[in-house]
Amino acid sequence: MADGTAGNALRPLGVAVVGYSFMGKAHSNAWRNVGAFYPGTAPVRQQLLVGRDQRAVAEAAERYGWAETATDWRAVVERDDIDVVDVCTPGHLHSELAIAALEAGKHVLVEKPLANSVAESEAMVAAAEAAAARGVVSMVGFNYRRVPALALARQLIGEGRIGAVRQVRAAYLQDWLADAGAPMTWRLRKETAGSGALGDLASHVVDQVQALLGEPVTAASGRLNTFVSERAGESGPEPVTVDDAAWATLETRSGAVASIEVSRMATGRKNGLTIEVYGTDGALAFDLERLNELQVLTDPADGTAGFRRVLVTEDSHPYLAAWWPPGHILGWDHTFTSQAADFLTAIGGGVAPSPSFAEGLEVQRVLAAVEESAARSGVRLDIAQDKPAA
All structural domains of the chain: 3-143 (3.40.50.720), 147-328+362-375 (3.30.360.10)
* pLDDT of 384 above 50: yes
Our CA dihedral for 116, 117, 119, 121, rounded to 10 degrees, sits at 60
Residue 388 has what pLDDT?
Answer: 41
| 383 contact partners, CB below 8 Å, separation of at least 6 | 216, 217, 218, 219, 220, 365, 366, 369
CA nearest neighbour of 118 among 356, 388, 382, 371: 388
Checking if the pLDDT of 78 tops 80, the result is yes
What is d(CA 208, CA 159) in angstroms, rounded to the nearest whole number? 17
Residue 96 CA to residue 65 CA, distance in Å, equals: 27
CA dist 37 → 14, 325, 338, 388 (Å): 19, 13, 9, 39
Tens digit of pLDDT for each residue in 167-185?
Answer: 999 999 999 999 999 999 9
pLDDT tens per residue, range 295-347: 999 987 777 778 999 999 999 999 999 999 999 999 999 999 999 999 999 99
What residues have CB less than 8 Å from 106, skipping those under 6 apart? 1, 2, 77, 82, 83, 84, 85, 136
**Mapping DSSP to helix (H, G, I), strand (E, B) and coil, where does residue 203 land?**
helix
For strands 44-50 and 230-233, give the pairing: unpaired
Which secondary structure element, helix H or strand E, spans residue 126, and what is its range? helix 118-132
pLDDT at 337: 98
Torsion of CA 138, 344, 329, 276, to 10 degrees: 30
